[in-house]
Amino acid sequence: MPSAVPTSAAPWWVWPVALFIVTFVLGILAVLGGVGGGVLFVPIVGGFFPFNIDFVRGAGLLVALAGALAAGPGLLKRNLASIRLAMPVALIASAAAIVGAMIGLALSAAVINTLLGATILFIVIIMATAKKSDFPVVPKPDALSQSLGIMGIYREESLGKDVEWTVHKTPQALFMFIVIGIMAGMFGLGAGWANVPVLNLMMGAPLKISVATSKFLLSITDTSAAWVYLNQGAVLPMIVIPSLVGIMLGSMIGVKILAKSKPKAIKWMVIGLLLFAGLRSLLKGLGIWK
Amino acid sequence: MAYANVLNIGMWLGLAVMIVTFVIYISGVFPSFVPIDDLPKYWTMRVHDFNVALHAPTGWGWAPLVGKGDYMNFIGIAMLSGLTILCYAVILPILIKKKDTAYVVIAIAEILVLSLAASGLLKVGGH
């Protein structure tokens, strides 16, 4: 029969206050980086707070979800997040996230952290070596994206002009979103870390559209995975609520900054954030940085 | 825009409920299923061990316990988690009216996927 174990001597309230402060900052950074906050939340809170990784992942999904819900309305109204682009990929990713969540809750923490870290570092390499990701050239939209009407036009404030966009390689991207969804559910992440590269580098959506649509997409993908964790009991209000409130407030600030920011700055911020998060997870999983 | 408007209202409402229930929770007005002072003893456990040690509910088993300070917070959490399903239900008639067949099918499929996840029917073995 499992029994309670003694932990740190700090009063219980220290951790909710610390969570609120940390997640407020993460909320701002997550919107600018389009990574949903979960990929930062899970390794940082899992690494420096005393909570078990199960509860951290459950909270991480809800944190990413809350951040996406807070940012979603603004991004949709500013025409930066595309529902037509998000809905097909969200269906694939959300279904896969259920599978991933169930697998993830059955795996050991060491395996999860190692795989998570390796995956994030792989994405960092891809993003750091990509060329012309701000406004990718799409020679011709594919048949699927044309039939679904996945296209749009948005106001690029940093250039002061309207930008039209289309996408290609939609079938390949949908396959990638199966993998992304599984991993999002497995690791308790928001999947933004992979959404943005696939939307931007594979499908050819402009970086700002990719970041914004990714953020909106998280609200759908993470809903399915979050319910699996919730139904398994892997949600503790004392961890979730301060984190949720912090990141939602931070996300609202982030949305106001996003529309006026430059695509290049966003790209390098995402890379820096992912590099730190990935290294932490990998080293923890390998038992090097405990 | 209907999606954005429902999302915005629902998000603010869910946030407000969470803040209120959390204040109630930490105030101790309603006793908690797990006493707050005891939480640090248990939050280091894997969730399966946590559930066994405390006989904690899974699935929708928390619903009858919303009178407890900690599980009262699940009301707001469930609201936020269910918001996307509501948004899809709102835009579905709009898509049907526009005769956007492909997206009607996508929306219905998404509602089914999210509802399955929320149902509590999916079980995970203990680690």
Q: What is the CA radius of gyration of chain B?
A: 18
Pick from B25, B43, B66, B79 the residue to mutate for testing the A interface (most A CBs within 10 Å).
B43
Q: At residue B108, does pLDDT exceed 80?
A: yes
What would the two tokens of residue A272 be?
């820096």
Nearest to B125 by CA among A103, A38, A18: A103
- Give the pLDDT of residue A35: 63
Number of domains present in the structure of chain A: 1
**Assigned domain for A197 exists:** yes
Place of tokens 């039939």: A147
User: Is A2 a residue whose pLDDT tops 70?
Assistant: no
Q: What residues does each domain of chain B span?
A: 2-119
In a domain, A9, yes or no: no
Residue B71: predicted pLDDT = 94
Q: Which residues contact A269 (CB under 8 A, 6 or more apart)?
A: A29, A32, A33
Best probe of the B interface among A13, A147, A224, A235, by most B CBs < 10 A, is: A224
Residue type, A38: G
Pairwise pLDDT comparison (A26 vs B25), residue with the higher score:
B25
The minimal CB distance from B50 to the residues A73, A219, A233 is found for: A233
Nearest 10 degrees: CA dihedral of A8, A14, A16, A21? -120
- Judge whether A20 lies within some domain: yes
User: Does residue A216 fall inside a structural domain?
Assistant: yes
Q: Does B89 touch chain A (CB under 8 A)?
A: no
Is A191 inside a domain boundary? yes
Rounded to the nearest angstrom, the gap between the alpha carbon of residue B118 and the centroid of all alpha carbons in its chain is: 8
CA atoms of A172 and B116, how far apart (whole Å): 26
Q: Is the pLDDT of residue B124 over 70?
A: no
A96 found inside a domain: yes
| A7 part of a folded domain | no
- Tens digits of residue pLDDT in A87-118: 999 999 999 999 999 998 888 878 887 887 88
Domain enclosing residue A119, as ranges: 14-285
Mean pLDDT of chain A: 83
Q: Using CA of residue A83, residue A85, residue A86, residue A91, what is the dihedral sign?
A: positive
Complex confidence, ipTM: 0.91
Residue of B nearest to A70 (CA): B11
Q: pLDDT, tens digit, for every residue of A207-266?
A: 889 888 988 888 899 899 999 999 999 999 999 999 988 887 887 788 788 777 665 676
**Chain A residues closer than 8 Å to B108 by CB:** none
